Amino acid sequence: MPKQLVLQHGRLSPSVEARLKEEFDIVRSGEQTDSMAVLRQHAGDITAMATSARHGVTAEVIATLPRLRAIASFGVGYDNLDVAFARGRDIDVSYTPNVLNDCVADLAWGAMLDISRGISEADRFMRRGDWLKGAFRLTNRLSAKRLGIVGLGRIGRAIAQRASGFTMDVRYHNRGAIPDVPYVHEPDLAALARWADCLVVAVAGGSDTRHLVSKRVIEALGRKGYLINIARGSAVDEEALTTALQAKSIAGAALDVYSVEPCFPEALAKLDNVLLLPHIGTATHETRAAMGELVIDNLKSFFATGTVLTPVPEA
């Protein structure tokens, strides 16, 4: 049987691109200077597209493809996908949830341990030969502390579950209380920050959560509090956070995401009270392979049944 035609919009990992080529005939766009010309050339043939959360897809691209009916995105975020415009044209948009929960939660815990115990800072201390001059500074215990989670979705719950091994008290902030969880809901985010020793950001990106962790929330976290962001850079007021870290008005931060990636505030690189990671929450062999397979499975499902397996949820 001839393969179905799929538009690959933007680069994906080599393994995912190889799997796409195994299963489908591929037309590529998104990197070329004449990308829109490529889209117009194949506009009458394209019914399905593969893209990524990082690359996204705009209304302009969608409007160029009158027969498009499915978008399969590699990633759990969908703030770079114009989902509302796609749905207005009866296009199913899928993403890759669940398969990445554990790896992102693991990274959140690694980041919390690192910034509270000064692990990366101690490594730099050793490499500079500073141990010969004196002992490393005292750090803060993580066990039996208070953990606040901003966004108790799939990843937030995975983070919370791991807290039991550290005998931590857990509270969370959501738009509303969740009935089937054992954690205390705190409707006021600043109050949660004031209570917490560690505040982990695990919300979706987009306009609804932009600067949700505001200057007021960062100030409420206080001199003994740590901020960990493994969600989206847009969810935190990056300027206010940088100022707080410089002034040491919070204890520290661990960041895997930034407002404008791959850029980040240069001032942060000069500080020892911040851990800087290059957006690696899902960057394990196991998770990336599972995400890639889910992209393939969503496309296969669309061609077989007309629907995708993991649609982006309704707002």
- pTM, to two decimals: 0.91
pLDDT, tens digit, for every residue of 283-310?
A: 999 999 999 999 999 999 999 999 999 9
Q: What mean pLDDT do residues 252-264 have?
A: 96
Q: Give the Cα-Cα-Cα angle 176, 153, 291 (nearest 5 degrees).
A: 155
User: What does the DSSP assignment read for the chain?
Assistant: -PPPEEEEES---HHHHHHHHHHSEEEEESSSTTHHHHHHHHTTT--EEEEETTT-B-HHHHHT-TT--EEEEESS--TTB-HHHHHHTT-EEE---STTHHHHHHHHHHHHHHHHHTHHHHHHHHHTTGGGTSPPPP----TT-EEEEE--SHHHHHHHHHGGGGT-EEEEE-SS--TT-SSEE-S-HHHHHHH-SEEEE----SGGGTT-B-HHHHHHH-TT-EEEE-S-GGGB-HHHHHHHHHHTSSSEEEES--SSTT---GGGGG-SSEEE--S-TT-SHHHHHHHHHHHHHHHHHHHHHSS-SSBPPP-
Q: Mean pLDDT lowest for which of 34-38, 68-72, 195-199, 306-310? A: 34-38
Q: What is the pLDDT of residue 32?
A: 63
Q: Do domains 5-99+285-305 and 101-276 have the same CATH topology?
A: yes
The span from the CA of 265 to the CA of 118, in Å, is 21
Q: What is the arrangement of strands in the sheet containing 92-94, beginning at the earlier edge strand?
A: 25-29, 5-9, 48-52, 70-74, 92-94
The CATH number of 5-99+285-305, from 3.40.30.10, 3.40.309.10, 3.40.50.720, 3.40.50.300, is: 3.40.50.720
- For residue 172, what are the β-bridge partners? 149, 185
For residue 206, the model assigns a pLDDT of 87
Question: Residue 33's pLDDT is what?
Answer: 62
Contact 202, 229 (CB under 8 A): no
Calculate mean pLDDT across residues 3-21.
Answer: 94
Domain ranges of the chain: 5-99+285-305, 101-276
- Average pLDDT for 227-254: 98
Of 153, 93, 156, 102, the C-alpha closest to 295 is 93
| Active site members | 232, 261, 279
Predicted confidence (pLDDT) per residue in 27-56, tens digit: 998 776 677 888 889 999 999 999 999 899
Mean pLDDT for all residues in the chain? 95
Backbone angles phi, psi at 204, to 5 degrees: -70, 160
In which band, very low, low, confident or very high, does the pLDDT at 102 lie, cut at 50, 70 and 90? very high
Q: Could you tell me if 232 and 204 are in contact, meaning their C-beta atoms sit under 8 angstroms apart?
A: yes
- In terms of average pLDDT, the best of 28-37, 142-151, 204-213 is 142-151
Separation of alpha carbons 150 and 158, rounded Å = 13
Name the CA radius of gyration of the chain, rounded.
22
pLDDT value of residue 228: 98
The mean-pLDDT minimum among 18-32, 51-65, 242-256, 269-283 falls in 18-32
Confidence tier at 2 by pLDDT (50, 70, 90): confident
- Contact status, residue 28 vs residue 49, Cβ threshold 8 Å: no
Give the pLDDT of residue 35.
78
Q: How far is residue 75 from each of residues 128, 282, 313, measured CA to CA in Å? A: 38, 9, 14
Whether 154 shows a pLDDT value over 80: the answer reads yes
> Does the structure show a pLDDT above 70 at 221?
yes
Per-residue pLDDT at 91? 98
Structure tokens of 59? 């209304």
pLDDT band at 315; cut points 50, 70, 90: low
Task: Fill in the amino acid letter for 224.
Answer: K
Regarding the domain with residue range 101-276, which homologous superfamily does it belong to in the CATH classification? NAD(P)-binding Rossmann-like Domain (3.40.50.720)
170-192 confidence digits (pLDDT tens): 999 999 999 999 999 999 999 99
Does 227 score more than 70 pLDDT?
yes
Residue 283 CB: number of other CB atoms within 10 A? 16
